[in-house]
Amino acid sequence: MASQGNGQHVLLTGANGFVASHILAILLERGFAVTATVRSQTKADDIIQTHPSWKGKINFVIVSDFTSQHPFDELFENTKNSAVPLTYVIHTASPLKFNVKDIQKEMIEPAVMGTTEILKSAHRHGGATLKRFVLLGSAVSVLDSFEDITREGRPYTENDWNPVTVQQAINRKDTVLGYNVSKTQGEQTAWEFMKTHRPKFDLTVINPDIITGPMIHPISGSGSINETNHFAIASFIDGTHKTVEDVRFPFYHFVDVRDVAQSHVDALTNPAAGSQRILLISGLITPQLVVNIIRRHFPALEDRVPEGNPSQILPDGIHPTGWDMRVSLDILSKGRKEGSWKYIELEQSVTDTVQSMIDRNVL
How far is 246 from 308, CA to CA, in rounded Å? 9
Confidence at residue 68, expressed as pLDDT on a 0 to 100 scale: 85
Q: What is the pLDDT of residues 196-235, one digit of tens each?
A: 999 999 999 999 999 999 999 999 988 899 999 999 999 9
Chunked mean pLDDT (size 10), the chain, 363 residues: 62 97 98 96 98 98 89 92 91 78 90 94 94 97 96 97 96 92 96 98 98 96 92 97 95 98 98 98 98 98 97 97 98 97 98 97 93
> What is the value of pTM for the model shown?
0.96
How far is 78 from 11, CA to CA, in rounded Å? 12
Taken as a whole, the chain contains a residue count of 363
At the second CATH level, the architecture of 9-214+255-282+322-343 is 3-Layer(aba) Sandwich (3.40)
How far is 149 from 151, CA to CA, in rounded Å? 6
DSSP assignment letter at 315: P
Q: What is the pLDDT of residues 264-316, one digit of tens each?
A: 999 999 999 999 999 999 999 999 999 999 999 999 999 999 999 999 999 99
Confidence at residue 95, expressed as pLDDT on a 0 to 100 scale: 66
DSSP assignment letter at 59: E
Confidence at residue 2, expressed as pLDDT on a 0 to 100 scale: 35
Confidence at residue 77, expressed as pLDDT on a 0 to 100 scale: 93
Burial label, 275 (beta-carbon count in 10 A; 0-12, 13-18, 19+): exposed
Strand 58-62 to strand 202-208: parallel, antiparallel, or no bridges (unpaired)? unpaired
**Which residues lie across from 344 on neighbouring strands?**
none
Confidence at residue 344, expressed as pLDDT on a 0 to 100 scale: 98
